Amino acid sequence: MAFASSVTRVDFVNIQQHGALLHANRHRFPNFSSLNLRKLERKIRAGSQITNARRVVEPEVDINDPEWKKHFQEDFDKRFNLPHLKNILDIKPRLTTFSLKSRRPIDEDNGAKNEDWNGYVDDDDRALLKVIKFASPTSAGAEYIDPDCSWVEQWVHRAGPRKQIYFEPREVKAAIVTCGGLCPGLNDVIRQIVLTLEIYGVKNIVGIPYGYHGFTDPLLSEVPLSCQAVQNINLAGGSFLGVSRGSPTTSDIVDSIQAKGIDMLFVLGGDGTHAGALAIHNECCKRKLKVSVVGVPKTIDNDVLLMDKTFGFDTAVEEAQRAINSAYIEARSAYHGIGVVKLMGRSSGFIAMHASLSSGQIDICLIPEVPFKLEGPNGVLKHLEYLIKTKGNAVICVAEGAGQEYLTKSNAKDASGNVVLSDIGVHIQHQIKRYFKGAGIPSDVKYIDPTYMIRACRANASDAILCTVLGQNAVHGAFAGFSGITTGICNTHFVYFPITEVIASTRRVDSNSRMWHRCLTSTGQPDFD
Ligand SMILES: Nc1ncnc2c1ncn2[C@@H]1O[C@H](COP(=O)(O)OP(=O)(O)OP(=O)(O)O)[C@@H](O)[C@H]1O
Ligand SMILES: O=P(O)(O)OC[C@H]1O[C@](O)(CO)[C@@H](O)[C@@H]1O
Ligand SMILES: [Mg+2]
């Protein structure tokens, strides 16, 4: 039994699980049986294209060995174990005050009783994250499923109300903060967190205005929140509390948490916000504070690992249809009309891919994960010429992070340190005009950038449901005593993840996935390489 070499296999699975590109690229290495995956993973995370990979040690491990399988599962369970306040503090639970039956606090003298325990979630309850099938080491490559393959199941913690809670609701001060860019559904989550806290019996709920800055900016004060205050906020887009990028130091934020007497902090945001939430959690642990920090992942880009989807994504795709449809109508109504629609997606093309798939009006979809050539016989411009000559019009959907190599890098960063991208939509528009003019073919190019219209609208029905459940589960997670966790949907089940696992890297479109190929089939575009 050689665990050292088994690490290679474990990493292979981790990379797949993190949604990175190795799995997508495996067709390029049909004969590998084992790769130096750590190096590859670093390259992938750094955004490099993997063009060659050296074959390294053959795994000596027998993957059907139950001991190895146990080792693998233990590794997974350890990583996905939820951080809990009882690990750092000597605290005892009490019976919950969340009544499944009356939706009123149990311990209030209002007739609500704790007679119905059936719906509570046990800490040992799990939802299936995935079943992994290991190819036999004797098969030619990991993509060939061997009948003797070994199976490993990965289970994650189910979200929901616990029978045992670690806070006295009447003594709790809970705070909500929204950070990063806007996202449809933020208000639904805020509202639901407040409603659920009140069902537990929490009286002291506040909003931190304008993201992490709200903790320390002397000009900003806490926003009192209650059922009444948040009533109907879900009917509008944006964030009731305001958002911002950039932040004070973690130490200053935690000083403020201590000064304000906050016991629970609900953090709504993307990967950056979650990195901040993790830093706050770690600092609270260091100071031995009984503060539960719970995240709710927010991003229209859908680029958070492990989740089926993040809230706002469905709405963004739906809203993108309007822009695409307008571009299509403009293109179809003009002589040699060409529409260009730029959609969000800094490093992941999920919105562009899904919007293209759902609209059925896109001829060319360009995303950051799939490099493309503009010029040359296989380039985008040549294909556009073909489309104009054969069908008279065309619509391109481009994700904002696509084709950045064609643009002058500004090196500018936003307040959070995110690279400010150059406008690929404008560039493509100019290139199309130049190309058709040069070729002596008339063309009428229209560019639509619906970015902020998409982001600012209210959540659609499916996102609103998602937000509602996520908001409730965030509160249940905090009362259950977890901290440094986030809540999401996974294989249609609602679960908790440790923040560390969720921010390990960015979820990106797998260029070898069936979904991307379905998108290509739907647009009918060739490879632009
Ligand atoms: N590594 C980090 N550690 C601590 N705080 C961070 C980190 N990265 C970002 N933040 C803080 O988190 C907040 C939000 O970050 P950012 O602007 O990157 O948005 P985001 O949460 O990633 O959402 P979006 O999807 O809109 O970009 C900012 O206040 C930023 O300063
Ligand atoms: O203009 P802002 O607020 O910096 O936000 C833009 C960014 O927000 C995102 O949608 C993430 O929320 C990215 O795709 C995009 O680059
Ligand atoms: Mg981000």
Q: What is the pLDDT of residues 124-173, one digit of tens each?
A: 888 888 776 555 544 434 444 444 455 667 789 999 999 999 999 999 99
Q: What burial letters (b/e) apply to 242-261, b meaning 16+ CB within 10 Å?
A: bbbbebeebeebbbbbeeee
pLDDT tens per residue, range 47-60: 443 333 333 333 44
Please report, for residues 111, 125, 347, 373, the alpha-carbon distance to residue 119 in angstroms, rounded to integers and kept in the order given.
19, 12, 40, 55
Which residue, judged by its Cα, is nearest atom 4 of ligand 2? 181
Around ligand 2, the residues with Cβ closer than 6 Å are 180-181, 270, 299-301, 344-346, 400, 414
Pairwise CA distance, residues 468 & 465, whole Å: 5
Pairwise CA distance, residues 263 & 85, whole Å: 11
pTM as predicted: 0.86
For residue 451, give the ligand 2 atom closest to its CA: 10
* pLDDT at residue 4 in the model: 27
Q: Using an 8 Å Cβ cutoff, are 162 and 480 in contact?
A: yes
Mutate to test the pocket of ligand 2, among 315, 455, 457 (most ligand atoms within 8 A of CB): 455
Q: H helices within 90-185, ranges in order?
A: none
Pairwise CA distance, residues 94 & 107, whole Å: 12
Please report the sign of the dihedral spanned by the C-alpha atoms of residue 35, residue 36, residue 37, residue 41. Answer: negative
* pLDDT at residue 108 in the model: 61
Is 428 annotated in some ligand binding site?
A: no
pLDDT < 70 positions in the chain: 1-65, 68-69, 108-117, 132-152
Residue 463: active-site member = no
Is 353 annotated in some ligand binding site?
A: no
- Element spanning 519, H or E: helix 514-523
Please report the sign of the dihedral spanned by the C-alpha atoms of residue 273, residue 275, residue 276, residue 278. Answer: positive
Q: Both tokens of residue 49?
A: 């294209």
CA 227 – ligand 3 centroid, Å: 30
Q: Which amino acid is at 290?
A: K
Note the ipTM here. 0.97
pLDDT tens per residue, range 332-350: 999 999 999 999 999 999 9
Question: How deeply is 405 buried, as exposed, middle or buried, from its count of CB atoms within 10 A (0-12, 13-18, 19+)?
Answer: exposed
Please report the sign of the dihedral spanned by the C-alpha atoms of residue 423, residue 425, residue 430, residue 435. Answer: positive
Give Cα 93 distance to the centre of its chain.
Answer: 32
Q: Which amino acid is at 440?
A: G
Around ligand 1, the residues with Cβ closer than 6 Å are 179-181, 211-212, 245-247, 269-273, 275-276, 279, 299, 416, 418
For residue 452, give the ligand 2 atom closest to its CA: 1
Nearest ligand, measured from the Cα of 300: 2
CA 38 – ligand 2 centroid, Å: 30
The active-site residue, picked from 107, 188, 263, 301, is: 301
Is 515 annotated in some ligand binding site?
A: no
* pLDDT at residue 409 in the model: 80
* pLDDT at residue 325 in the model: 98
SS (H, E, C) 302-343: CCECCCCCCECHHHHHHHHHHHHHHHHHHHHHCCCEEEEEEE
Mutate to test the pocket of ligand 2, among 303, 344, 449 (most ligand atoms within 8 A of CB): 344
Secondary structure E strands in 136-234: 150-158, 164-165, 173-178, 204-208, 223-225
Cβ-proximal residues to 134 (8 Å cutoff; 6+ apart), any chain: 9, 63, 142, 149, 150, 151, 152
Please report the sign of the dihedral spanned by the C-alpha atoms of residue 254, residue 260, residue 264, residue 266. Answer: negative
Pairwise CA distance, residues 399 & 366, whole Å: 6
Nearest ligand, measured from the Cα of 352: 2
